[in-house]
A and B are shown apart, each in its own frame.
Chain A
Amino acid sequence: MPWLAVAVLVPLFGAGLVVVLPRRWRHAPFPVAVAATLLSAVALVATVTRFDTSEGMQLVEEARWIPSLDVAWRLGVDGMALVLCLLTVVLFASVIAYGVGPRPMTRAAGALLLLLEASTLAFFLAEDFILFYVAFDVTLVAMYFLIALWGEEGRRYAALKFFLYTLVGSLPILLGIVALYLASEPHTFDMTRLQATHPLAGGGLQASFVFLAFFVGFAIKTPVVPFHTWLPAAHVEAPTGGSVLLAGVLLKMGTYGLVRVNLQMLPDAFARYALAVALLGVLSVLYGALVALAQTDLKRLIAYTSVNHMGYVVVGVAAAAASGISPTARTLAVDGAVLQMVAHGLITATLFFLAGFLKERAHTRQLDELGGLFRPLPRLGTVAALAFFASLGLPALAQFPAELQVFLGVFDVYPALAAVAVLGILITAGLFLRALQQAFMGDTPARLRALPDLTVREAVALAPLVALFVVLGVYPRLALDLIHAASWLTGAG
């Protein structure tokens, strides 16, 4: 069985099914969405059982598409793609369980969620640049509608801004793809071959331009400071499920591309710009944390911590690209960066869920209008405290092993940058403890005293995320053994 194709096509097929279902079957979209996601998850689990951790790119499935241009339907996995796909189905399962927009799930919501899921999985699994690019752009369309249809008051503006900004980012990516195609001999869009042959090896002027084209595109998506301004706007206006998927999954497409394309296909050019990229990463770490510290809106605060957390990933990848790094530190940096993507996905998704739950109850996200919420909301408060501490990098929760590995790896080539980046964990501690103190401790204002605690539906959405970030924190090897960057990291070193 072509399990990877099943993982991608079942949600796509589900999306089509939801659309053509008769309008009067009001309750049908939800079970279809659940079933499609579960089947997709089964296909990925089947892939895990067939996966060989000692090898790199594997289980490649290929079907002819446009032979004259050597475009083909090519899917494949390595450790990074596999864990990101698993993260994707977990987050989609949670968001579908909780729902987007009115309940029961509308046909539009079901179709858009499944379309987004299929395109995200296709992006992570694509081994053909055309498929890669198409999937990238389809995610933009689907997310645009999720924000524009069910977001808050300023949703139109935020959705358009998100769409245009990232679309602008995708154009240089397309240019880069074409340049790589033209540089390859014979011309191909096969990513595995491009990675093996390095058509722009040596890093001349052309390689630099191609590198920068890809970098700008992925930097906007990640987002790296100063390309991040679409993020807070999109998050603040997006519906809860939209924020969860945007932060949890879509941001990972930027850093995934940075590893897959910039690091693996253009290692020589990356080596030249490694320090600059690392500096931007550290800037993101500190800038994101400090600006988050100044926020009073809980959702904006979480959005800026995403800039901070994704900054660690960028620093790690940049260090791995530097020419002076030792092989051990290189593996550590990339292992840590990929684990950080997973950890951030789980933890920030939890945070955005909680921010949404709070807004639904208290009708505000302003921290200074909340207070003493541990009293009416003991369960929600406990999960919030756990997620806050996870997000500030507390040991025994998933982000700690990720950040520690990034620090250990980066320190090998850029000790000063690593030392500065460590300060990020102090600033995030400050901002999360302040948020915890303001929203959950102290006196409870009268109007907040009778708020209802977590509902079953909310608990179901949160449970897998919390369980996973605790388990990965206690025993990170569950993910690290799959990621195993050592087996697919090739190129300069």
Chain B
Amino acid sequence: MTVLLWLAVAVPLLGALTVRVAPWPGRLAALVAAGAAVPAVALLVGAANGSRASSAVSWLPAARLSFGLSLDALSGLMSALVGLAGAVVVTYAAGYFAEDARRRSALAGLLAFLAAMQGLVLAESYLPLLVFWELVGVASARLIAYSRDDPAAAPGAVRAFLTTRAADVGLYLALLALFAAHGSLSFTGTRPEGALGALVGIGLLTAAMGKSAQAPLQTWLSGAMAGPTPVSALLHSATMVAAGVYLLTRSADLLTGWPLQLAGWVGAVTAVLAALIALAQDDLKRVLAGSTSSHLGLMFVGLAAGGPAVAMFHLVAHAAGKAGLFLAAGTFQHQRSTTTLAGLRGAGRDDPLTFAAFSLCALSIAAVPPLAVFWSKEHIAAASEQQGLLFTAVLVAAAGSAAYLVRPALILWGDPVDARAGTGAARTRARTVMTGALAVPVVACLLLGAAGGPLSDLLDAAPLPSSTLSLVLSMTAVSAGLLGVLARPWLPGRLVAAARRQLFATELLDAVAVRPARLLARGLDRVDRLLDRAVDTVAEVGLHVARIARRVDQGGIDNVVDGAARLVGEAGGRSRLLQSGRWFEYLRDAMLGLLAVALLVALTAVLS
């Protein structure tokens, strides 16, 4: 098992290095990703059969902190999910990037990301978790910045990295507090008392909100859509954004009480607001990004109200559906070279197979029975039934999901326009690869509904909650949402406009963080120049005093200090020599003198 742990990280890492030089990068990458899924799935099987393993090396000896990986039910489950999602998406990407001159870079980036993500979910304590957590951030920023033609790519990547890094400050602080309280960074243990405990709770929650794109930090996810679509399918649906939920689940023991409750509220607010944002977007990928934030919010609610199994079930079910949606969107994008809804009008009619896959995944995310998300969301609703406001938020988000996904589906099936892409031979083969990869999430959406029970057993949790009331109410909400698509025109125009701009969250973040930092920086820069001038002034004043002294010296009492004056004169003469280029001889004399002394000293050192 120990070997499998390290293999799960090492295989994609080595793959990332070799893909850059291999002759068939596409095939090799797909092969590596599939190969990397093998140890991951084996870990899950092992964990299901009760295997536990851990392997660590001492890393910071003074703190007795070690760096390692370990296997338990939760990490096995996440590892398998990451491995399988990686295999599907990288295979798809091999087709998607088939004609891209820089495909090696993209594929290597995807594999490197997978390695970091495996490390994150298999980390044995908070130290390796922090390491991989940040590496995931960088790997994702690199992938978002991939396109050199899209002017939005670089700013999108920078915003994604900085937003998540800002939230990561919380993770650092939580770790510091944890170490101060327990003297270790292991996952086990209880939350310390008082201020340290508050720091642990707030810190972990903040970090999770950043990675999982929770309000008001959700805007980076929308900007990240400038990345290639397979990247979005892997990072922004199934893996990276799930890290926040994983962190909270992993830390559930540390967060019992108010922190989890707070996480539930954050999730509920995000679920509703992000659904509204998704409904207002004019770009298919941005619709999906909003939807992802909303569903991650539901996972927060599920964790707070129902526990780890409820949250993880929704995580898995949502991953399958959302990955499928992004992959289908990528295929449409290939045909139309755009992801705007207007530009994609009728794309579904041109490619009914992909459209069918898109629709099925959309229905799953919209929680239509008997597809996967229907079951997982049902458990979240049932778990939150006792808390009126959370429950209401879940229902509203459910209605929203149905509405914002049916809308693009209808547009895709709308009257075709004549902007068709040519289909050459190579593209057809690439298309086959892409369609084949798309089949996997579709099948998963069909089957994963039955996974709730086994998953709850695996995580050793209580049976997943369900109730008739919540079932009836959420079915009503979904139906309302499906019909409510027609309602979009009735939403106040100003609200739609605000939602399209992320409800001004970008402006909010700029106003409270970016702009003050910039102003402060500019102000301090000015202070610094003043300080510099002050130092120079002191030196100049000193020089003036010296000149005055010299004048006094020469005018009156020159005989008394004649010697000193001559010394000054000599020094000046010598420095003039220095400037005229003959300093070198002087230096040589000094060197020879130094050398003589050094040799003497060395001799005495050797002899003594």
Contacts and interface: CB of A to CB of B under 8 A. Distances in A.
B601 A404 contact: no
22 contacts: A9-B598, A16-B592, A20-B588, A64-B604, A107-B584, A226-B531, A230-B535, A232-B532, A233-B532, A328-B63, A332-B63, A401-B59, A401-B60, A405-B60, A408-B63, A423-B169, A426-B169, A427-B517, A436-B158, A437-B155, A480-B60, A480-B61
B62 A486 contact: yes
B131 A395 contact: yes
B592 A20 contact: yes
Contacts of B606: 2, 5
A229 interface: yes
Contacts of A395: 130-132, 134-135
A433 B162 contact: yes
A415 interface: yes
Nearest to B105: A378
A23 B169 CA distance: 58
A434 B161 CA distance: 11
B518 interface: yes
B101 to A, nearest CB: 12
A145 B165 CA distance: 42
Name the 9 nearest CB pairs between A and B, nearest first.
A294-B525, A395-B131, A441-B154, A16-B595, A293-B521, A294-B521, A63-B605, A229-B532, A63-B604
A211 B85 CA distance: 60
Contacts of B179: 408, 411
B145 interface: yes
B97 interface: no
Given A5-B602, A64-B608, A426-B166, A19 B591 contact: yes
B180 interface: yes
Nearest to B539: A164
Interface string A280-315: 000000010011011100000000000000000000
A99 to B, nearest CB: 18
Given A12-B598, A65-B601, 10 more contacts: A13-B598, A20-B592, A108-B584, A287-B524, A294-B524, A332-B62, A395-B134, A415-B180, A430-B517, A442-B151
Contact of B521 (A5, A291, A426, A481): A291
B552 interface: no
Given A375-B148, A415-B176, A430 B162 contact: yes
Nearest to A149: B583
A42 B195 CA distance: 52
Interface of B: 58-63, 130-132, 134-135, 138, 145, 148, 151, 153-155, 158, 161-162, 165-166, 169, 172-173, 176-177, 179-180, 183, 199, 517-518, 520-522, 524-525, 528, 531-532, 535-536, 539, 583-584, 587-588, 591-592, 594-595, 598-599, 601-602, 604-606, 608
A331 interface: yes
B595 A12 contact: yes
A425 B145 contact: no
A441 B145 contact: yes
Given A401-B60, A411-B179, A290 B598 contact: no
A223 to B, nearest CB: 12
Given A164-B539, A229-B531, A408-B176, A400 B521 contact: no
A469 B121 CA distance: 26
Contacts of B517: 290, 293, 427, 430
A136 to B, nearest CB: 15
B180 A411 contact: yes
Nearest to A160: B539
A477 B63 contact: no
Given A12-B598, A73-B601, A480 B531 contact: no
B133 to A, nearest CB: 8
A426 B206 CA distance: 14
Given A20-B588, A408-B176, A2 B605 contact: yes
Contacts of A419: 173, 176, 199
A16 B594 CA distance: 9
Nearest to A333: B62
A52 B528 CA distance: 45
Interface in A422-446: 422-423, 425-427, 429-430, 433-434, 436-437, 441-443
Contacts of B520: 290
A433 B158 contact: yes
Contacts of B58: 477
Contact of A111 (B531, B587, B608): B587
Contact of B138 (A161, A165, A226, A389): A389
Contact of A396 (B135, B145, B166, B535): B135
A358 B457 CA distance: 59
A269 interface: no
Given A19-B588, A423-B169, A433-B158, A328 B183 contact: yes
